[in-house]
Structure 1
Amino acid sequence: MKQNFTVRQGALDGVEAFLTVAQHRSFRRAAAELGVTASAISQAIRVLEARIGAALFIRTTRSVGLTEAGERFLSRAKPAFEELVAASEVARGLGQRPAGLLRLSVPRAVVPVLLEPLIASFCQAYPEVEVEIDATEKLIDIAAEGFDAGIRLGQFVAADMVAVALTPPLHLVVVGSPDYFATRGRPQHPDDLRQHACLRWRRSGGALAPWSFNENGEAIEIAVSGPFIANDFPTMLGAAVEGVGLAQLPGPIAREALRAKKLLQVLEPFAPVVPGVFLYYPDRRQIMPKLRAFIDHVKSRSAAKGTE
């Protein structure tokens, strides 16, 4: 059976006063250390004793001692309070400088194309930040899953997220291997794809994505068919290189294979432009310094590339 655990309001009130008095065995010296009056310390202790239901100190005109209840309370409260203080210091440190674990959810295809150079330079610039990359195609709730930010194509970023562009808009390109075209020919129009083997992409929600095109300024979609389905672009890229069929991919994913002539592009006049890749996070008011540092690093790198 599930139990409900609660901390009463004000349960920690007076604990610091108690520990300081117990350390100095003096209300006056405790008050001086905490920067309050001795009467304020006495009142805090009285309230704490009333809440606990036991006297914690033995007071005389010459000295202050601990009762048995006070000794037992001290033995448990002191290490617990020290842990709270230490936890506060750790949290304060993370809130004041770039440090700690930065968790990012990203598609697998983005890692070699975009993130590897960024991460290398970022880790050198901010040695106190540890970067964890979770490479997944799933569109997850980054806040619920404990991620600081995510990276996705712009069309998959929710409207309530703060988004930072990592790339300019991208073309979706249709590519195939030279061997494929040698046996199947080249499509001249998107309608020709119905006679071709097309590699399909299954979205994280389970649906098969249609292929998108632009014809005379009008967006069109075509439901293609073929022998192979994948849920990430690198797998589709590899299958296209092996001649399994045609693939529609973001331009940067196919760039190296096109340069190496492992793939050839077709249907260039119909290639649609889609939003680029974005870094996104829930709320600019909740940004920790580690994420702010990463965002600034991304922007500075993008600005440097723009001037090259």
Structure 2
Amino acid sequence: MIRLEDVTLFVRSAALGSFSNAAREADLLPGQVSAAVHRLERDLDKRLFVRSTRSLRLTAEGEKYLPYAQELLAVVQAGAESLHNNEDELQGELKVAVPSDIGRNILLPLITTFCEQHPKISLRLFLSDQRSDVFRDPVDVAIRYGALENSSYVALPLAEDNRRVMAASPDYLAKHGRPATLDEVAQHHCLLFTMNGHVYDKWSFPENGMRRQLHVKSRLLCDDADVARRWAVEGMGIVYKSWIDLSADVLAGRLEVLLPQHPGEAAPLSLICPHRKQFSPAIRQLHGAFRDHLKAITGLLRTHPAFRVNAVQAAEK
């Protein structure tokens, strides 16, 4: 008979990367955690971890079992909470991972309002441009840009029509000129940032059913995409980011869209989770608030003057 506490310690050991860390969190001895995992491996007749003196990593069987273990714990927790919750009252802990720029500048006011409306919700918010692993990191859901490559998790769409745009400040354009082609962009100061440890210095644009890649360079590099946007507003160069991130600056005149006749690559936004059962009523309500707000922002891609000019030019051709 598999013990629930053994499953819990297995999940936390996987998330924290060691039996010692899991033991410290649970106020146990490392040997007790090791024994619990060994007992679970015996019950499953499979080895879940590869152990060494300096590292602990999941085996292929452990990777396969982990999402089911997480779902088991989530179902048990949801069942316990249902015995104490009023149907109309949201409560419990939410752990949400959000990209830095959209988290600070777009979604934080919505999250704050949500917490004010539901005082029994406890929130843990993680802001980072490092992509969260929803199977291993201690988060319930994550907001993620881009096409979803992994079919093992489930996703709720937030902004399917979002895409990247190039922009620069009026001051920068007055000093350095406005690029007339994509090739000229590579001769300008471009503002770069890292994503998941890699420098985002290859800007992609759909062109004639294919993808054109523009290699750009910069003397400025940061590990926070929000800083690249701020540098652009200060006139330091050209930025290529999600329309959601840049829209407020464009609408306020702090940034101007460049080369709208070359639409940027798609940057759809989704809320992802390992298992559908983890989309609790609280998460679904928060998703609804996010989606309504973000759809209004991406709708401006069709109505902003720069893009309307682009549509007229395309029609004339």
Give me the TM-score of the superposition, normalised by structure 2. Answer: 0.62
Find the aligned partners of 1:252 and 1:272 in 2 and give their Cα distance. 13
Q: Which residue of the other structure, out of 260, 283, 297, is the alignment partner of 1:291?
A: 283
Find the aligned partners of 2:235 and 2:296 in 1 and give their Cα distance. 38
Cα drift, residue 259 of structure 1: 2.1
- Assess if the C-alpha contact under 8 Å between 2:201 and 2:216 holds in 1: no
Find the aligned partners of 2:251 and 2:277 in 1 and give their Cα distance. 43
Q: Does 1:5 align with 2:35?
A: yes
Q: Which residue of the other structure, out of 166, 170, 176, is the alignment partner of 1:174?
A: 166
Cα distance change, pair 157–237 in 1 and its aligned pair in 2 (3 A): farther
Structure 1 residues 60-75: aligned runs within 5 Å: none
Find the aligned partners of 2:95 and 2:234 in 1 and give their Cα distance. 34
Which of 1 and 2 has greater Rg?
A: 1
Find the aligned partners of 1:253 and 1:5 in 2 and give their Cα distance. 48
- Assess if the C-alpha contact under 8 Å between 1:198 and 1:224 holds in 2: yes
**Worse-superposed segment, 207-216 or 128-137:** 207-216
Cα drift, residue 196 of structure 1: 0.9
In structure 2, list runs of 5 or more residues that go unmatched: 1-28, 40-75, 299-317
Q: Which residue of the other structure, out of 81, 90, 107, is the alignment partner of 1:94?
A: 81
- Paired letter, 1:94: E
What do you get for the CA RMSD once the two structures are aligned? 3.4
1:189-217, Cα deviation, whole Å (9 max, x unpaired) = 11112211111122213243411112334
In structure 1, list runs of 5 or more residues that go unmatched: 10-88
Structure 1 residues 189-228: aligned runs within 5 Å: 189-228=181-220
Cα distance change, pair 156–110 in 1 and its aligned pair in 2 (3 A): farther
Q: Which residue of the other structure, out of 147, 161, 171, is the alignment partner of 1:155?
A: 147
What's the secondary structure of 1:269's corresponding residue?
Answer: coil
The residue that corresponds to 2:123 in the other structure is 131
Cα drift, residue 235 of structure 1: 0.6
The sequence identity of aligned pairs, in percent, is 26
Find the aligned partners of 1:90 and 1:166 in 2 and give their Cα distance. 27
Cα distance change, pair 295–248 in 1 and its aligned pair in 2 (3 A): closer
The residue that corresponds to 2:254 in the other structure is 262
Cα drift, residue 167 of structure 1: 1.8
1:151-184, Cα deviation, whole Å (9 max, x unpaired) = 1113366332211112232131111122211121
Find the aligned partners of 1:247 and 1:302 in 2 and give their Cα distance. 21
Cα drift, residue 135 of structure 1: 0.5
Structure 1 residues 98-117: aligned runs within 5 Å: 98-117=90-109
Cα distance change, pair 233–164 in 1 and its aligned pair in 2 (3 A): same
Cα drift, residue 282 of structure 1: 0.4
Cα distance change, pair 190–303 in 1 and its aligned pair in 2 (3 A): closer
- Assess if the C-alpha contact under 8 Å between 2:98 and 2:143 holds in 1: yes
Cα distance change, pair 246–284 in 1 and its aligned pair in 2 (3 A): same
Cα drift, residue 139 of structure 1: 1.0
Cα distance change, pair 134–187 in 1 and its aligned pair in 2 (3 A): same
The residue that corresponds to 2:111 in the other structure is 119
Cα drift, residue 109 of structure 1: 1.1
Give me the TM-score of the superposition, normalised by structure 1. Answer: 0.64
Find the aligned partners of 2:100 and 2:187 in 1 and give their Cα distance. 30
- Paired letter, 1:107: P
**Worse-superposed segment, 148-157 or 261-270:** 148-157
Find the aligned partners of 2:253 and 2:267 in 1 and give their Cα distance. 26
The residue that corresponds to 2:137 in the other structure is 145
**Worse-superposed segment, 156-165 or 190-199:** 156-165
- Assess if the C-alpha contact under 8 Å between 2:91 and 2:120 holds in 1: yes
Number of aligned positions between the proteins: 229
- Assess if the C-alpha contact under 8 Å between 1:204 and 1:231 holds in 2: no
Find the aligned partners of 2:255 and 2:149 in 1 and give their Cα distance. 30
Cα distance change, pair 146–157 in 1 and its aligned pair in 2 (3 A): farther
Find the aligned partners of 2:297 and 2:199 in 1 and give their Cα distance. 36
Cα distance change, pair 187–118 in 1 and its aligned pair in 2 (3 A): same
